[in-house]
Amino acid sequence: MEYIYNENKKGAPVFVLLHGTGGTETDLLPLASALNHEYNVLSIRGNVKENGMNRYFRRLGEGNYDWEDLEFRGKELYEFIAKKAQEYDFKLEDVIFVGFSNGSNIAIQLMLQQEDKFKKAMLFAPLYPTDLERKHDFSDVKVLLSLGKEDPIVPESESERVIKLFEDRNADVTTVWVNGHTLPQEALIVGKEWLNQ
């Protein structure tokens, strides 16, 4: 997998940056710097191609996931992050996922698959269109969800489903509603406040 690792301060938390469809490992670097320039950064390019665009897992259509591929890609990405944690000497519990759209969705998958490993996430424009029977315990998880009103890709009912996914598992959930399928300034401001709590 293509990636960038920037160590800004030894022992600081590590932003794991996960871009949206068609993005690359450089897309979210300015966001990470704006959120906290001292945090270390592991930014990973999705290694699945959809019409030449980078993604983290296959889909069969808009909002129609290939769940088998998502399961496989989640494990593959977890193994990659765990390997980089050893290589660059950071702890998985110090990881903060920062995802946009497709990146947020694979982050949710990782948190569900590895429920004892990842404790913090900032998820912008997430979509996880299924109801899960299995209950995970996220009582020590903190998540910021930035959700879109009139988002052309994620209906509000699906945004509410993502909120419920985390709330049902006792996560500490902070939400911010923005316009559309975007990552605007107001979400960044709330994100900085959330990080500093």
Query: Which residues are the active-site residues?
Result: 101, 151, 181
Q: Where are the alpha helices (DSSP H) in the chain?
A: 29-35, 67-88, 102-113, 156-167, 185-196
Rounded to whole angstroms, the Cα distance separating 22 from 44 reads 13
Rounded to whole angstroms, the Cα distance separating 5 from 14 reads 10
Rounded to whole angstroms, the Cα distance separating 121 from 130 reads 20
User: How big is the chain, counted in residues?
Assistant: 197
Residue 41 CB burial class (10 angstroms; 0-12, 13-18, ≥19): buried
Q: Are 44 and 77 in contact (CB under 8 A)?
A: yes
User: What kind and span of H or E run contains 146?
Assistant: strand 142-149
